[in-house]
Structure 1
């Protein structure tokens, strides 16, 4: 079976650890084999090649968390990426951490991890959802309680989670502000129906929800933009994890700083249905055939992406 996998761990040159070749395929008892039609890349894949969360004794490890495909009877399905894992301190792991990932011709999946893909959602669009879009949905709807908000700020437009958060918040009818250092990304923000802003810029209003995945460079700005009682929802720290927090502002404004990670199968089902009924199309930066998966990784690593990088089979 053709697969893209980590053959070594290279902290400084992660792409040199990527190999595309044949690996054996097996299906654990009670699991279902899925023929993959599309998958998408995440920064998690780059970190795996660096050896973060992936020890050497699990190599070779097929990469990838996200996939859409068909069951043996031809039903189109989306793969929920979280697997129960009693050996992990978290109680779960993602595909490509302990169990083979999605960047392959086929993947074995627990039956309960399969969700039907509704009409109107393509394999490529569905493959964008399980990690980045589900994370954004959970941050907005569940942790951020966006239903109670009028305005949302998304820091660091361009990445998968931030771009998903912009599109979803606009679809939910919110006034959405989104920051980026690069003008072309701010132009794309405007195309999605949001209001672009430079990092650190003063907004016309304070917001009730902040989607924060950048961390250290933007966190002070996130707090200054927060309305009384606002929720600052954090899912990552791509720019640095040692952010300064003015506790006086936290208690005076009664702010909530909330950690967030992934989402539930029920939320993924809700997100799928929302995409179908509201005709929300996940933002795809670029598409690559499986034979060009190395080019897809190079694209993701470039930092010039806006949306998801998709692999199609």
Structure 2
């Protein structure tokens, strides 16, 4: 079958391992279902896979793609939940120490067909396109959990989104605005700041700029490059919710500020199936649509990877079949 996959890890030149070609048809274990993929979106996780981060060398070749939307054999249109728990796990999916994402242990969604546990498919609303649905189960679910499960922020409070042009960040802007928070965002360029304002940010600022006042919560996916600014931007008792560190994972701790101002630093990873169901319902009711910066046929996947690698994102990059 047609697939976009990583043939081997390439830490210093990730696109050297990217192949657009053919892979064997997947086997379907008991309790799993095949899904004909209609759309899948690109995530930073896919670049990490190409580099060999979070995946063992013996797992290659690996079909890329953490999330997507498609059709079951009976014609049911579905959204995929990409967190796969270990056999017998009964607690919250994200807390399973042996959980995996698609592309870590199991083949991903950049293919004609993907095979997932039957519990990992959810109905797609008729009002939502396959391209929009393909953005939800990684970037948008991560943003939903950060804001509504982890931050404890309330409508009327002020949130700051760092680096607001990527998939998680644009989702945070849209979700925060829809939920009644005052949304501020930072961006490296005028175009990135303009996108955040277009999506609902009440104000935008250059990266590292002094803010008019301190905020109740900061949402971090950037890491070292913005961490000091995030810490300085918080009110006493404020919270940083972190789900990524694209510029490095070893920021200075600033412990004096942390304890003296009684700040909270909260980690957040992906989300549960129940949270994905709530996200889908919320978006349907609120009429929210993901910001899609590029929609490409899967055969042109390399163009999307090059754009993400170069930081040329303006929302999600989606591949369609």
State TM-score, norm by structure 2: 0.94
- Structure 2 alignment gaps of length 5 or more: 89-95
Query: Match for residue 111 of structure 1?
Result: 118
Query: Match for residue 91 of structure 2?
Result: none
- Structure 1 alignment gaps of length 5 or more: none
Spell out structure 1 runs of 4+ moving beyond 3 A. none
SS in 1 for 2:53: coil
Structure 2: distance between partners of 1:18 and 1:85: 28
Query: Match for residue 181 of structure 1?
Result: 188
SS in 1 for 2:224: coil
Query: Match for residue 137 of structure 2?
Result: 130
Displacement of 1:90 after TM fit?
Answer: 2.4
Structure 2: distance between partners of 1:188 and 1:148: 22
Query: Match for residue 11 of structure 1?
Result: 11
Whether the 8 Å contact between 1:149 and 1:209 is mirrored in structure 2 is: no
Displacement of 1:304 after TM fit?
Answer: 1.0
Task: Find 1:260's aligned residue among 265, 268, 290.
Answer: 268
Whether the 8 Å contact between 1:119 and 1:276 is mirrored in structure 2 is: no
Task: Find 1:218's aligned residue among 203, 226, 243.
Answer: 226
Whether 1:144 and 2:151 are equivalent positions in the alignment is: yes
Structure 2: distance between partners of 1:224 and 1:193: 24
Query: Match for residue 169 of structure 1?
Result: 176
Structure 1: distance between partners of 2:152 and 2:128: 26
Structure 2: distance between partners of 1:284 and 1:126: 11
Structure 1: distance between partners of 2:65 and 2:293: 17
SS in 1 for 2:210: coil
Q: 1:287 to 1:65 in 2, by over 3 A?
A: same
Task: Find 1:96's aligned residue among 100, 103, 109.
Answer: 103
Displacement of 1:263 after TM fit?
Answer: 0.7
Whether the 8 Å contact between 1:62 and 1:101 is mirrored in structure 2 is: yes
Displacement of 1:149 after TM fit?
Answer: 5.8
Whether the 8 Å contact between 1:233 and 1:257 is mirrored in structure 2 is: yes
Displacement of 1:86 after TM fit?
Answer: 5.9
Q: 1:167 to 1:148 in 2, by over 3 A?
A: closer
SS in 1 for 2:229: helix
Displacement of 1:84 after TM fit?
Answer: 1.4
Structure 2: distance between partners of 1:3 and 1:230: 45
Whether 1:20 and 2:27 are equivalent positions in the alignment is: no
Displacement of 1:148 after TM fit?
Answer: 6.1
Structure 2: distance between partners of 1:247 and 1:300: 33
Structure 2: distance between partners of 1:252 and 1:149: 25
Structure 2: distance between partners of 1:192 and 1:138: 19
Q: What's the CA shift string for 1:98-137, capped at 9, x where partnerless?
A: 1111100001111110111113111100100111111111
SS in 2 for 1:218: helix
Whether the 8 Å contact between 2:155 and 2:181 is mirrored in structure 1 is: no
Q: What's the CA shift string for 1:2-46, capped at 9, x where partnerless?
A: 111111111111111011222112111111111101000111111
Structure 2: distance between partners of 1:127 and 1:167: 17
Displacement of 1:147 after TM fit?
Answer: 2.5
Query: Match for residue 310 of structure 2?
Result: 302
Whether the 8 Å contact between 2:222 and 2:246 is mirrored in structure 1 is: yes
Task: Find 1:241's aligned residue among 249, 253, 269.
Answer: 249
Query: How many pairs does the alignment contain?
Result: 313
Whether 1:35 and 2:42 are equivalent positions in the alignment is: no
State TM-score, norm by structure 1: 0.96
